[in-house]
A and B are shown apart, each in its own frame.
Chain A
Amino acid sequence: MNLLTTSDALPSGALLLANTDDVLARADEIRRHPSVVLQFPKWTDGRAYSQAVLLRGRLRFTGNIVASGDVVADMAPLLRRCGFDAARLRADQRLETARRTLGHFDGHYQATLAERHAAAAG
């Protein structure tokens, strides 16, 4: 999980999606981009988690998925498990805290999409 600060630039050529956008309807456009930026207007608005899952699961999107907006340190483990590669944290958040939040659990009940895809590929 790549943790970014607000001074880090978003990847060039990234497609910016609103969390109300229908990612399946925009599949072709999304596939033409190396990166997609998904938005959290409020950190407790969880729509972009489902968008990321659809990008990875339904569209098999292999580019970068970046979380942006009101992103707090404690979201890092959820973002990673939903298929985000990077999170640009809100200005007041500490990178070291976000890093620490990634280390609390040594496993989960739900397999990640990457694990499921690997299993499906045999």
Chain B
Amino acid sequence: MYRYTAFDRRQVRQRAAQYRDQLERHLAGELSADDFRPLRLQNGWYVQRHAPMLRVAIPYGEVSSPQLRALAHVAREFDLQDRGQPTQRGGFGHFSTRQNIQFNWIPLARSADAMDLLAEVDMHGIQTSGNCIRNITTDALAGIAPDEVVDPRPYCEVLRQWSTLHPEFAFLPRKFKIAVNGAREDRAATGWHDIGLTLVKDAAGTVGFEVAVGGGMGRTPIIATTIAQFVPWAQVLVFIEAIVRVYNLYARRDNLYKARIKILVKAEGERFVRAVHDEFQALLADPATRPIPTEELARVAACFADPVQARSEPAAAAPIDLDHPPAFQRWLARNVHAHRLPGYRAVTLSLKRTGQAPGDATADQLERAAALAERFSAGELRVTHQQNLLLPWVREDELPALWAAARDAGFATPNIGLLTDMIACPGGDLCALANARSIPIAAALNERFEDLDLQHDIGDIALHISGCINSCGHHHSGHIGILGVDKDGSEWYQVTLGGSDGSELSGPAQPGKVIGPSFAADEVPDVLEAVIDTYLRERLGGEPFLHAVRRLGVAPFRSAADEVRRSTAHVEAVA
């Protein structure tokens, strides 16, 4: 993991002090709610349904055991409330698709204290919200994936530093998200980002980036366009500076929904690409422009040296030991992943289980995850895009012990990549933007498809649920997407099929297709069952769900879904 220097540490502490000054001015009446809002947002403080929501940055998803314990402390001491309904008392964190963690119940008056506490473990909420460059995200298997071309983490860290408190880009037209992928398989959904960076090597082995711009979800789902095939790594910040400057100067600011870079790229097309390349060339021609110094990349990269040594002796037979129960074999098949280092595996701790919302972890669970990481994974964890935790450095011969410990802690549901490993935003229960609730839908689907035999039979499938069109639950990219919509004050759910995040299984990134008018909340589990039954009936051999949808089109799934309409049967008849 990256090790903070004294300078890095001072930045975070000085930022916390700056925030405290702003909060105090606000509480004293000097700083109005309107003027305070953009300032608190850029420190991760939203005002939500019940209290402010704090989003803490987990840069490119890497977190240490001590940091996880500090997050547990925040959950217990700041988030947990002694008033309100039992379901409204907090005490837990929610991991998001952008590898961050959110808390929902911290009173604003205590927000500066929470920032001080986080700063003690090099954590913060800097640029986790607001119209600025957000947390850089990447592959949860960065640095350990067997199919990796270049480890993206040193570049992510350089990008993190460059984008942190960048004075020119603090007030962009809209939020700006950058994802980096260094592997052959795209596990970072780069096509769905404002900038998607893919590390590549040219014929001579020189490292560079393929740069795609203008992807995004929301009301207008668009896949990013590649505007440079190869930018040498040392120039990548210059190239990004050119993109963001063109965006800052020329994107629309008159309409919130037209302000993302995807709209500018779409509207201007070639003119946008030319403007970026012209700006890039002008910057390169300037003697004051500095590429990333080789020694700086080397300094950062040294932090990401393997914390363990490859094991030369053959691993113990444990993983294929048939004496272990079927549940262990199932866990091995779903939650344990291949590793670049011989003798090691990466293991996902599933945060998708009955009784808790997808991606949620209580203070106790955060501490237990921290302890598992210490015992089995060199004290390091990753937050995955699918809202789980991952242990990156697990010895193969310790898998049985880890399985037992993870089961004790409730992290061993063998459902990674299966139907109940769904992505879901917090939805209307917690989020002020949401049009509908996500958590009860997720719970109902979890209950309906609880049977692991059935889930394993269905196989790989990505179910994504968003409570509104802001798409925090990435419904557009779900093989099955569910979108909460509001009509006349009630909750309805639109279902899409065939969306893709751009991974090998899913094919090129693309948004799903809607199957008819929205469904009522109580119809959703039946609709999903009808869709799944259609798949199980129509699939050819081991054909995955998504491939079957592509082959068959949405029509047979749509008619199966219409068959189970009850309250919306009339709506359907007149639509």
Q: How far is the CB of A2 from chain B (nearest CB, A)?
A: 17
Interchain CB contact under 8 A, B171 and A45: yes
Interchain CB contact under 8 A, A46 and B172: yes
Given the known interface contacts A104-B21, A109-B164, the answer about A58 and B288 at a Cβ–Cβ threshold of 8 Å is: no
Among B6-14, B94-102, B499-507, B516-524, the one that faces the other chain is B6-14
Instruction: Specify which of A50, A54, A101 lies most central, judged by the most chain B CB atoms within 10 Å of its CB.
Output: A50
| A–B complex contacts, Cβ < 8 Å, 11 sampled | A46-B131, A46-B248, A47-B249, A50-B249, A51-B249, A57-B286, A78-B167, A105-B165, A109-B161, A109-B162, A119-B288
Given the known interface contacts A44-B38, A49-B248, A94-B30, the answer about A105 and B14 at a Cβ–Cβ threshold of 8 Å is: yes
* Size of the chain B interface, CB-CB below 8 angstroms: 36
B287 interface hit (Cβ, 8 Å): yes
Interchain CB contact under 8 A, A109 and B165: yes
Q: How far is the CB of B9 from chain A (nearest CB, A)?
A: 12
Q: How far is the CB of B242 from chain A (nearest CB, A)?
A: 11
Interchain CB contact under 8 A, A57 and B288: yes
Interchain CB contact under 8 A, A110 and B38: no
B50 interface hit (Cβ, 8 Å): no
In the complex, chain A residues whose CB is within 8 Å of the CB of B164:
109
Q: How far is the CB of A76 from chain B (nearest CB, A)?
A: 11
Question: Which of A74, A105, A106 is in CB contact (< 8 Å) with B22?
Answer: A74
B282 interface hit (Cβ, 8 Å): yes
| Bound form: Cα–Cα A33–B301 in Å | 47
Interchain CB contact under 8 A, B168 and A49: yes
The contact string, 1 if C-beta is below 8 Å from chain A, for chain B 1-40, is: 0000001001100110110011001000010000100110
B89 interface hit (Cβ, 8 Å): no
| Bound form: Cα–Cα A107–B25 in Å | 24
A111 interface hit (Cβ, 8 Å): yes
In the complex, chain B residues whose CB is within 8 Å of the CB of A111:
290
Interface of chain A: mostly helix, strand, loop or mixed: helix
Q: How far is the CB of B174 from chain A (nearest CB, A)?
A: 11
In the complex, chain B residues whose CB is within 8 Å of the CB of A53:
168, 245
Q: Which residues in chain A, 27-58, are within 8 Å of chain B measured between CB atoms?
A: 43-47, 49-51, 53-54, 57-58
B274 interface hit (Cβ, 8 Å): no
In the complex, chain B residues whose CB is within 8 Å of the CB of A45:
171, 253
Q: How far is the CB of B29 from chain A (nearest CB, A)?
A: 12
In the complex, chain A residues whose CB is within 8 Å of the CB of B550:
none
List B residues at the A interface (Cβ < 8 Å). Answer: 7, 10-11, 14-15, 17-18, 21-22, 25, 30, 35, 38-39, 131, 161-162, 164-172, 245, 248-249, 253, 282, 286-290
| Bound form: Cα–Cα A101–B33 in Å | 18
| Bound form: Cα–Cα A104–B14 in Å | 6
The contact string, 1 if C-beta is below 8 Å from chain B, for chain A 101-121, is: 100111111110100110110
Interchain CB contact under 8 A, A105 and B290: no
In the complex, chain A residues whose CB is within 8 Å of the CB of B287:
120
Chain B residue at smallest Cβ distance from A79: B167
Q: How far is the CB of A66 from chain B (nearest CB, A)?
A: 17
Chain B residue at smallest Cβ distance from A46: B171
Q: How far is the CB of A73 from chain B (nearest CB, A)?
A: 9
A72 interface hit (Cβ, 8 Å): yes
Interchain CB contact under 8 A, A109 and B11: yes
Interchain CB contact under 8 A, B21 and A100: yes
A77 interface hit (Cβ, 8 Å): yes
Interchain CB contact under 8 A, B290 and A116: yes
A99 interface hit (Cβ, 8 Å): no
In the complex, chain B residues whose CB is within 8 Å of the CB of A51:
249
Q: How far is the CB of A86 from chain B (nearest CB, A)?
A: 16
Q: How far is the CB of A99 from chain B (nearest CB, A)?
A: 12
A82 interface hit (Cβ, 8 Å): yes
Interchain CB contact under 8 A, A104 and B18: yes
Interchain CB contact under 8 A, A46 and B170: yes
Q: How far is the CB of A70 from chain B (nearest CB, A)?
A: 10
Q: How far is the CB of B342 from chain A (nearest CB, A)?
A: 38
In the complex, chain B residues whose CB is within 8 Å of the CB of A72:
35
Q: How far is the CB of B549 from chain A (nearest CB, A)?
A: 42
Interchain CB contact under 8 A, A120 and B288: yes
Question: Which of B17, B30, B288 is in CB contact (< 8 Å) with A97?
Answer: B30
Q: How far is the CB of B554 from chain A (nearest CB, A)?
A: 41
Interchain CB contact under 8 A, B39 and A74: yes
In the complex, chain B residues whose CB is within 8 Å of the CB of A104:
14-15, 17-18, 21
Interchain CB contact under 8 A, B162 and A110: yes
In the complex, chain B residues whose CB is within 8 Å of the CB of A49:
167-171, 248
Q: Using A49-B171, A94-B30, A110-B167 as known contacts, list a sample of 16 further A-B pairs with CB atoms less than 8 Å apart, ordered by residue number in A.
A: A45-B253, A46-B169, A46-B248, A49-B170, A50-B168, A72-B35, A74-B35, A74-B39, A77-B167, A78-B167, A78-B170, A100-B21, A109-B161, A116-B289, A117-B288, A119-B290
Q: How far is the CB of A102 from chain B (nearest CB, A)?
A: 11
In the complex, chain B residues whose CB is within 8 Å of the CB of A44:
38, 131, 171
Question: Which of A43, A82, A101 is in CB contact (< 8 Å) with B168?
Answer: A82
